[in-house]
Amino acid sequence: MTTGAEARTSVAPLEAGLRKLVRIAGAIAGSPEGQMRAVMSDAIDEVDPVAVEEIILQSYLFAGFPRALNAARAWRAASGRPAPEADPDASGANPDASGAGLAFWRARGEETCAVVYGDHYEKLRRNIRELHPALDEWMIVDGYGKVLSRPGVDLRTRELCVVAACAVSGQQRQLHSHFHGALNAGASAGEVAAVLDALTDLISRDDLGRYRQLLQKVAAE
């Protein structure tokens, strides 16, 4: 009989740059600012700077604007990279008074969210609408359309970073959903397990054990 301590999904080691990237995602979401800066500084020589900036941008969905702004400030200082002069994707495709941009973001968001949630997509939409229709609209248009569908980082990488963010910030309900999301986006259960292993200094031992058991259940479904 497998005990709780033994209930662990086999780990598939992450490529070095991706391992550093998920650590940055986790630190932004739940670590003290000094630790976040240290994690970024440690990663500079191994991460794709464009990917880091995308993960900083998506962190506002999971950690709020204050942490996203602090992360951007820390990254500018650590990397020495200036912000881009413009970001065409920030305003969507052909935004105009007719709402073309909004329609584009909604369609893009629905497509991405359906990939992440798979067979549970329709249930998710019903559940969020029952909480409040504005939350459903913002989730699709802003969360999945404007942010998580941006070019620059593939959805698998984004979802692995979302797993890290939810784990370090202690959002277990969302972590459960994004364990599924990472798998649906093309990650293996071993890669998701490797994300947790990359965060051992950012998460308490008790939480880490609980998350590993949760992943074991998700991987077995």
**Residue boundaries of the structural domains of the chain:** 16-83+154-220
Please state which CATH number belongs to domain 16-83+154-220. Answer: 1.20.1290
Tell me how far apart the alpha carbons of residues 89 and 3 are, in angstroms, rounded to a whole number: 48
Q: What is the pLDDT, as a whole number, of residue 98?
A: 45
Asked if residues 44 and 76 have their Cβ atoms less than 8 Å apart, the reply is no
Local confidence pLDDT in tens for the 221 residues of the chain: 344 444 578 888 899 999 999 999 999 999 999 999 999 999 999 999 999 999 999 999 999 999 999 999 999 999 999 999 988 888 755 454 345 678 889 999 999 999 999 999 999 999 999 999 999 999 999 999 999 999 999 999 999 999 999 999 999 999 999 999 999 999 999 999 999 999 999 999 999 999 999 999 999 98
Tell me how far apart the alpha carbons of residues 151 and 122 are, in angstroms, rounded to a whole number: 25
Residue 3 phi, psi dihedral angles, 5° rounding: -90, 165
Asked if residues 200 and 168 have their Cβ atoms less than 8 Å apart, the reply is no
Angle subtended at Cα 26 by Cα 4 and Cα 69, rounded to the nearest 5 degrees = 155
Q: Which 3 state secondary structure label does DSSP give 203? A: coil
pTM for the whole structure: 0.92
